[in-house]
Amino acid sequence: MGRRSRRRSREGDAPTPMPDAPTAEYHSEDGMVLELGCVMSPKTRAQYQKTIEGNLLSQEDAWHRAMEFLFERLALSWTINGVSTEGQSELLARLRMASQEERQFVRSSLREHCKEWFPDIKAP
């Protein structure tokens, strides 16, 4: 056992657990529930800015990618017709096969969420 391992295993040296990040839920009239995280790092904000600017993309493509970017970073769960989807890859796959109404719900929820939690970010 090395010195670091002994130091970590001593009682009282356990790291303090990180507090849970706040979340917000958005509900549609037909029962969909989208849970979004309320924390975004400065690096993620910078990446988002590059995505929405999309120098080589049309405005529509840049906005579509920006919406997927925000959804991928913020979505924690999405319940549709009582079926909950969780996990980053599953949520992104569900978004990609979403109906027009479901995409509109996600877009409006992201806009509302950014307006409240990230006023410096322009949501697509």
Which DSSP letter does residue 23 get?
E
- Fold of the domain spanning 22-117: rbstp2171 (3.30.2220)
pLDDT band at 60 (very low <50, low <70, confident <90, very high): confident
Q: What confidence score (pLDDT) does residue 83 get?
A: 94
Span 110-116, mean pLDDT? 95
pLDDT at residue 3 greater than cutoff 80: no
- Please state which of the ranges 33-42, 45-54, 63-72 shows the lowest mean pLDDT: 45-54
d(CA 26, CA 112): 9
| Terminal alpha carbon distance of the chain | 53
Report the length, in residues, of the chain: 124
pTM of the model: 0.79
- Of 120 and 12, the one with more pLDDT: 120
